[in-house]
Amino acid sequence: DAGITQSPRHKVTETGTPVTLRCHQTENHRYMYWYRQDPGHGLRLIHYSYGVKDTDKGEVSDGYSVSRSKTEDFLLTLESATSSQTSVYFCAISPRGQDNYGYTFGSGTRLTVV
């Protein structure tokens, strides 16, 4: 999607290894979010950021950490990957303050933990 990119698009990793997913935006939006999408659960918020170095937990934050050292980058780290973290991960950005703002989502990262 325009203005937001996620990398990698696909990744297979082994149980117990650390994994970092990257979200990069060119829109200079203050708010960034990480969601995971699983069948039967819809999208669930993992962590979000409301500014550089300002982050907070979502509803499914256990086993995940995030960092935001620059406005444009929001990193999601699985400290020790487990099979339950196999999922599709989406990053989103929000402009806020505009009349009809919606969130813009990246194309997703499909992560498989074996």
**Position 83: which residue type?**
S
CB under 8 A: which stretch of 10-18, 19-27, 40-48, 67-75 binds other proteins?
40-48
Instruction: Return the H-helix or E-strand segment holding 23.
Output: strand 19-25
What is the bridge-based pairing of β-strands 10-13 and 109-113? parallel
Toward other proteins, which CB reaches closer, 14 or 99? 99
Q: Is 97 in the site for other proteins (CB under 8 A)?
A: no
Contact 73, 22 (CB under 8 A): yes
Q: CA-CA distance, 111 to 90, in Å (whole number)?
A: 11
- In the set 53, 62, 83, 100, which binds other proteins (CB under 8 A)? 100
β-sheet bridge partners, residue 24: 5, 73
CB of 40 to other proteins, least distance (A): 7
Task: Please give the residues from 48 up to 67 whose contact with other proteins meets the rule CB under 8 A.
Answer: 48, 50, 56, 58-59
**Residues within the interface to other proteins (CB under 8 A):** 1, 31, 33, 35, 40-45, 48, 50, 56, 58-59, 90, 92, 94, 96, 100-108
